[in-house]
Amino acid sequence: MELVVATKNKKKLEEIKVILSGLKLKIGSLADCKKNIRIVENGKTFRENAAKKAVKAAAVTGKLTLGEDSGLCVNALSGVPGIYSSRFSGKNKSDAQNNLKLLKLLKDFPLGKRKAHYVCAVALADKSGLLGVVEGKCFGRIDFSTKGSNGFGYDPLFLIPKYNKTFGQLSEKIKHKMSHRYHALKKARKLIEKYIVKQVAS
């Protein structure tokens, strides 16, 4: 059985593959799809965007599809950048530019006022429609400068107090056991396993 991840982000795909390892699935992405699938992320929540991705891609591919939407929410900024995390500094801007904009907005805030959390919503769908949506979170703070080169997005700024290191500094092994994506995919894994059992039985 094949699972299509509704993304063209290679780093995100690899992270999902690692966390879902062990499932009897061939995991691919939209980059492997011959058809051009355009998904407009205009939902008001992570869950809405994840569902849109999963349902649209499943309808086109006819396969079990995982839609994922995630982002960073900063308390002092009333949850910003939130669902706009990837395009925080403009539609075609880089992770580095997004991080720089965030640092500028928080320049006058002490560490105690820099609480933030990552959110990840994961939706599953097949050609018949949406199967379910789950969510995971990870809590930390925003550091005063980028540190480390692991991960992507805001990882070099996302400080985990327990380790006093950012996701950019922590190993993948540690990150993949505590991240927002891990918590969401752990729940999604159960949905996928139930789906596989149902398909085999039918």
Residues 119 and 68: beta-carbon distance below 8 Å: no
How far is residue 192's CA from residue 175's CA, in Å, rounded to a whole number?
A: 22
Residues 75 and 58: beta-carbon distance below 8 Å: no
How far is residue 187's CA from residue 181's CA, in Å, rounded to a whole number?
A: 10
Q: Is 56 helix (H, G, I), strand (E, B) or coil?
A: helix
| 80 class by beta-carbon count within 10 Å (0-12 exposed, 13-18 middle, 19+ buried) | middle
Cα–Cα distances in angstroms (integers) from residue 111 to residues 2, 96, 124, 148, 157, in the given order = 44, 21, 37, 19, 12
Asked about 95 being catalytic, the answer comes back as no
Active-site residue (options: 69, 95, 126, 143)? 69
Q: So which residues are the catalytic ones?
A: 69
